[in-house]
Amino acid sequence: MKRLALRLIAITLSAASQLQAQNPVGSWQATLPGDSQKLRILLKIDKGETSGIAGSWKGTIYSISQTRKGYPTTTLTITGALIKFTVDDYHVSYEGTISPDGNSIAGTFTQGKSQPLTFHRATEATAWPLDPTPHKVQFVPVEADVKLEVLDWGGTGRPLVLLTGLGNDAHVYDKFALKLTANYHVYGLTRRGFGDSSAPPPTVANYNADRLGDDVLAVISALKLNHPIVVGHSIAGEELSSIGSRHPEKVAALIYLDAAFPYAFYNHANTDLFLDMVDVRTQIDALQAGAVLEPKFVDNMLTSVAQLEKDLQKTKNDLAKMLPPYPPPPPPLGLAIMFGQQKYTQIPAPILSIVACPHDFGDNFHFHTTPEGKAAIIKEDEARCTAQADAFQSGVPSAHIVRLPNADHYVFKSNEADTLREMNAFIATLPTN
């Protein structure tokens, strides 16, 4: 009987030890496999208000390579060693199993496509720093009740301002900025709605291209920057073109980092679904507001509808190369920005455009498709980025276009040396302030 009692005690202690090892509270780290950016994901798990009861967990997920802002999980359930969570706004889901020693979670991460992803428990020695580079942080008012987070990495030389792509905050440049401080005084802006900047309601009025461009100009004015060079990645191309088309005298130059898409420079030969939808919607709104249905108005609307029909047919052809589930829509903030795009055709400012063409999608391909469909999408991407770069060069002859074949969309990460070389060479040709 005594031996049996001792054995029961041992089993109880072993079970308690295992439960402690599988305690999910804490920070978990993972790197998306095959992603050319090496995206780092941080999951923080805390007990809910009714701690100890299944389902009473709170989770926050961070994509710390892109932003320091965390997004609460929409759902988080833990049943034994099984863990599941979703982040609905970003169409993320995950299902995994906590290892017996409690040091890892192996499972499947889904965002558009599914792929294996293993989280490892962070320790004091292994935890990734959330803010790894030296910089000052300030918040600059740009509108009533709206302030932008501005990072200042310091440096010597003329001012250089970095603008981010959609979904990123200024910390996406933490590593790249330090490569620029030897020659420039480097600043980074976090767009309204993201990171620690103010987040007005996601309406087109709050996030249209010229409104976002005005934010950048307000920061330039507040910091008393003398003709800065403004550099933008991805969707920031619309802010660059907004500034360059309306106030080229306030900047020394504009540098597009894979950012010269139709929302940065529009031409009818290379149309865009969102931009052309905006035109049709504006004309319908004008009719509803009482616009006169005269021949010129009808002609303009017929042209807009014809462009939109072209875009929809192209979209249908793209979808035919994919398999369900199809790419989900952006969250409301992303939609407000997409529907706030404008058509820029005149940009009288010194311009450097670095284009990833064709793009390197890497193993982390974002579409659910067959191998043949993937090959077709990649081929179509090359045709479109080539046509857009040609259109930009033709429409803005003074622009210097640099094409980097098989580069990631984040050219300043995948092709850092090329990007730095081209930026420095271009800036060296600019007149001094």
Number of residues that this document lists for the chain: 433
Beta-strand relationship, 229-233 and 158-163: parallel
pLDDT exceeds 50 at position 321: yes
- Counting beta carbons within 10 angstroms of the beta carbon of residue 294, is it exposed (0 to 12), middle (13 to 18) or buried (19 or more)? exposed
β-bridge mates for residue 31, sequence order: 40
Using pLDDT thresholds of 50, 70 and 90, give the confidence band for residue 204. Answer: very high
Q: pLDDT tens across 17-61, in order?
A: 444 446 899 999 999 875 556 788 999 999 876 544 545 799 999
- Tell me the pLDDT tens digit for each residue of 394-429: 999 999 999 999 999 999 999 999 999 999 999 999
Q: Measure the CA–CA gap between 102 and 20, rounded to whole angstroms.
A: 8
Structure tokens at 255: 């540098």
Q: Rounded to whole angstroms, how far apart are CA atoms 95 and 75?
A: 12
For helices 295-320 and 273-288, angle between their N-to-C axes, nearest 10 degrees? 140
Find the helix or strand (DSSP H, E) in which 211 lies.
helix 209-222
- Give the pairing of strands 71-72 and 57-63: antiparallel
Better-scored residue on pLDDT, 5 or 366: 366
Q: Alpha-carbon distance 165 to 257, whole Å? A: 10
pLDDT higher than 80, residue 16: no
Query: What's the confidence (pLDDT) of residue 326?
Result: 84
Rounded to whole angstroms, the Cα distance separating 119 from 111 reads 16
Residues 364-377: pLDDT tens digits? 566 778 889 889 98
Name residue, tokens 């092709």: 415
- Cα–Cα distance, 313 to 324 (Å, whole number): 18
The domains found in the chain, sorted by start residue, are 21-121 (2.40.128), 136-269+316-428 (3.40.50.1820)
Q: Per-residue confidence at 133, pLDDT binned at 50, 70, 90?
A: confident
For the segment 162-183, what is each residue's pLDDT rounded down to a tens digit? 999 999 999 999 999 999 999 9
**pTM of this prediction?**
0.88
Name the one residue in this structure whose structure tokens are 């970003």: 90
Return the pLDDT at 8.
42
Residue 205 has pLDDT above 70, yes or no: yes
Residue 362 banded pLDDT, cuts 50, 70, 90: confident
